[in-house]
Structure 1
Amino acid sequence: MNDIQTNLKRIKNSIPAEVILVAVSKTKPVSDLMDAYNAGQRIFGENKIQEMAEKWEMMPKDISWHMIGHVQTNKVKYMAPFVDLIHAVDSFKLLKEIDKQAKKNNRIINCLLQIKIAEEESKFGLNEEEAINLLDNEDIKNLTNVHIQGLMGMATFTDNLQQIRDEFNKIFSFFKSLQPKYPQIKTLSTGMSSDYELAIEHGSTMVRIGSSVFGTRNYG
């Protein structure tokens, strides 16, 4: 068992069975992903569509690929044939393009709405009012090939644990408030290597873990 496989086992043993682990493999070579695959990992997250498409071509076809980065509408077509879940949907325009490309591929593509919970200006996402307006948009009923199954959020990158808790608690409260009217909202994707345990404490059903699995990544 190598380091990646040891790390995976440790993390899986530390999180509840019902929490989904997305192994964030961006910038990592296929050999590293295959180490994780051979240890039983089947869900991988990438933040660049071209890199994800190249890995999809080279790797076993029982892998579930998650797009976790910001998505440009003109790139959707490159992942539409295979992507399982797009985490960072932040506009109706993007949803429409995902629906269009999913139709061309005779697929339904799952999506999460990205909710802005962090204080950093650089973070993308919708506020709560914008998310509700999107879900209530009459035109959404015409989008037959997308399925909005939940929310995604990223906490502020800070050592202030109380701030992180407050941000995770805020999105969890919003997540729960949506469920009576929108029962399809079942996934809450919050938490990364530095804060996934806090995220799970505050209701996360899916965590996106990269460096704690694969080691420090090469930035790109």
Structure 2
Amino acid sequence: MTMEVQFEKSFYPISSWNQGSQPYLASILFCQGRRTTSLSDIDLFAHFCAAAVPNLAMVESVDDEKIANRLDRVVASIGRKPLRVLVQVNTSGEESKSGVDPSGCVELAKHVKLGCPNLEFSGLMTIGMLDYTSTPENFKTLSRCRTEVCQALGITEEQCELSMGMSADFELAIEMGSTNVRIGSTIFGPREYPKKEAN
């Protein structure tokens, strides 16, 4: 779910917030249109940060042309307005992470913007290293990617969102220019995974 950072600020005051922007919070939590009782009075918009699906306000996990093309076809087939998408960039270089290599993000962004009429290129997303040791570098890399993408597409940086930062590092992410932060566990608590039965 996404909501304006103003809501989150009431829980976690930060001395310096990105002026002039409207950053959003995004949770990997996917409620399929249902709202929790405690958030029922807040206008929420669903973003999605996992295997791509076509029926949401935004998909943040487009990391190759095949996914972009598939989304483009599905959106066209259901006759809805263009779907906003972010290109996912693997800024940490980890094999376990999804995302296009930073060197390929310009070409993928071009493909989405110029070759997928049913998608609206809206920016870039990254997931930093799990131990956060390289978080500042990951964020700097995504910022550099945005500069290159904006120059290539002839758009302003305000037209290219940065989705970076999660519950453990969102303050730094906002300081470094993030417009979307994903803090589901901060708002909703840690995830509960089913325990595997012993053999």
Name the TM tier (shorter chain). Answer: 0.7 to 0.9
CA spacing shift, 1:219–1:118, aligned 2, 3 Å = farther
1:156 and 1:101 mapped to 2: Cα distance? 32
1:130 aligns with 2:104: yes
The question of 1:211 aligning with 2:185 is answered yes
Work out the percentage of aligned pairs sharing the same amino acid.
25
RMSD: 2.7
SS of the counterpart of 2:190? Answer: coil
Aligned partners of 2:104, 2:145: CA distance in 1, in Å? 12
Check the 8 A contact 1:187/1:205 in 2, yes or no: yes
Who is 2:37 aligned against?
Answer: 34
Determine the C-alpha separation between the residues in 1 that align with 2:103 and 2:25: 29
- Structure 2 segments unaligned to the other structure (5+ residues): 1-6, 195-199
Residue in structure 1 matching 2:117, options 119, 144, 149: 144
**How far off is 1:159 after superposition?**
4.8
The structure richer in helix per residue is: 1
**Matched ranges for 1:7-22 at <5 A:** 8=8, 10-11=10-11, 13-14=13-14, 16=18, 18-22=22-26
TM-score, L = length of structure 1: 0.71
Residue from 130, 144, 148 that aligns with 1:157: 130
Note closer, same or farther for the CA distance 1:36–1:9 as it changes in structure 2 (3 Å cut).
Answer: farther
Q: Classify the secondary structure of the residue corresponding to 1:191.
A: strand
Instruction: Give the superposition deviation at 1:13.
Output: 4.8
Q: 2:77 aligns with which of 76, 100, 104?
A: 104
> 2:150 — aligned with what?
179
Q: Secondary structure at the match of 2:177?
A: coil
Structure 1 counterpart of 2:87, one-letter code: L
Q: 1:219 to 1:10 in 2, by over 3 A?
A: farther
* Residue type of the alignment partner of 1:187: E
Contact between 2:128 and 2:138, CA under 8 Å: does it hold in 1? yes
Distance 1:124 1:41, change over 3 A: same
CA 1:128–1:23: 2 relative to 1, 3 Å: closer
Q: Deviations over 1:142-201 (max 9, x none)?
A: 4211111100001101153xx211111111122123213321751110001011111111
Give SS of 1:189's match: strand
* TM-score, length-scaled by structure 2: 0.78
Answer yes or no: is 1:87 the counterpart of 2:60: yes
Whole-angstrom CA distance in 2 between matches of 1:206 and 1:200:
8
After alignment, is 122-131 or 187-196 more displaced? 122-131
Q: What is the one-letter code of the residue matched to 1:112?
A: L
Gaps of 5+ in 1: 1-6, 43-63
Q: Distance in 1 between matches of 2:94 and 2:11?
A: 28
